[in-house]
Amino acid sequence: MQADMITPFLERRHAREKASYLHPALEPILKDTFGVIIFHEQVLKIAQSLAGFSLGQADLLRRCMTKKITPEEKEKLECDFLAGCKRKGVKKGVAQKVFGQLAAFGAFGFCRAHAVSFAKIAYQSAYLKTYYPVEFFPGLLNNEPGLYPKRVLLNEAKRCGIQILPPDINQSKGKFSLENGAIRVGLSCVKEMGPSSLKEILRKRREQKFNSLEDFRLRVNIERPLLENLILSGCLNSLNGKSIHHLLRTSQIFSQLFKNNNNNHQNKTLLEIDLLGLTVKYHPLIAFKRNLDKIERVKSSELSAMSEGKTVKVAGIKVILHTPPTKSGQRVIFLTLEDEEGLIDVTVFPSAQKLYASDIFEEDILLIEGYVQKHGSAVSLIANRASGLRKMTNY
């Protein structure tokens, strides 16, 4: 992004712009990437072909370009490169422009072998998600990818038509598992569930399934907080016995969350988020239904139908926030929100950050007002305003 090389690559990749080369010697090196320097290996070949560098000198140039160097170090590299190009008969203006591209390369370039590895995983993942979604999602959830939290992956599975089954003391495995074409939430998701407690529960269950709360408490030695969490999260719903209902009534958490029966779905959803870190049936935004119903908002699935420049409001749970280097040097915030129907990409420029940065960084559920921006098939929102949804009372 800092080098602004993504745009020309995409434009040329989709034949909306013709590839161009600063020097004829660059075409065989950059032909596969449409005239854009992307890979480390290309830097080596350019330095070798245009400036007459040895591969050792070229690799030194590459290493310097991919780490922060002082202005003095950069000036020396440029002098060496320009001198080499002069000896090879390359015009100074062309050599300077090529060096400028090489210098910018450090902001985004990477190894071609790494790119191939990532691409292979991406294609394999897309294939598995398309043709084997029920098998794909448990594997993804159990390997805990770092970019998206489990609740987001589980919501995507729901949107793919996969049924999600709640954790069950007699049916759940330790992790997410397949069960008759559905995904069963694992016991390890329950708050306070440590490895030793999980191991003991599974060991006792292998001997014989649990038939009541009394049977469970007699055979498994766990602390009351975990027992309450197992009950409140629904893990023991399949067991017989009135003791479960008694414990529910005496649970402080339960009495606080369920004091208003009119908001049962909302309260259960909040409880699931707290105890499991995910929701089984409803999307977390249902907990804010009362306030969201008052807002004329657009959902993620509707954004593509909006005209470019149209001002809209969206609401969602913050999934990703990052502030990569930009060409201007100013901080730009890139957000990904999730609503009931998918993901929403939001860009927050410095002007909006001055007023709303606190909410954007600190709040986990946001209401964003901004205008629609389209680039090819991609749709995003440029934020004008932002606020935390939790600040709205009586949700």
CA distance 219 to 222: 10
For residue 255, is pLDDT > 70? no
User: What does DSSP say about strands 164-165 and 182-184: parallel, antiparallel, or unpaired?
Assistant: parallel
**Residues 279, 323, 98: CA angle, nearest 5 degrees:** 135
- Please determine, for residue 10, whether its predicted confidence score (pLDDT) is greater than 90: no
Q: First and final CA of the chain: distance in angstroms?
A: 39
pLDDT at 1 over 50: no
Structure tokens at 268: 């259960």
Residue range 304-310: average pLDDT? 94
135 against 287, higher pLDDT: 135
Average pLDDT for the chain: 88
What is the reported pTM? 0.79
Domains and CATH numbers, the chain: 6-113 (no CATH), 132-282 (1.10.150), 292-391 (2.40.50.140)
User: What would the mean pLDDT of 62-67 be, rounded to a whole number?
Assistant: 76
Does 259 score more than 70 pLDDT? no
The per-residue pLDDT for 289 is 87
Residue 104 pLDDT:
79
- Other C-beta atoms closer than 10 Å to the C-beta of 282 total 16
Q: State the pLDDT at residue 390.
A: 83
Helical H segments across the chain, by residue range: 6-13, 27-30, 40-51, 55-65, 71-87, 92-105, 112-131, 133-142, 150-159, 195-207, 213-219, 224-232, 243-250, 252-257, 264-276, 289-292, 350-362
DSSP type of residue 343: E
Q: What is the pLDDT of residues 267-291, one digit of tens each?
A: 788 889 999 999 998 999 998 888 8
Tell me how crowded residue 361 is: count the other CB atoms within 10 A of its CB: 12
Separation CA 77–CA 102 (nearest Å)? 11
Instruction: Read off the pLDDT of residues 205-243 as tens digits, 9 standing for 90 and up.
Output: 999 999 998 899 999 999 989 999 999 899 998 987 555
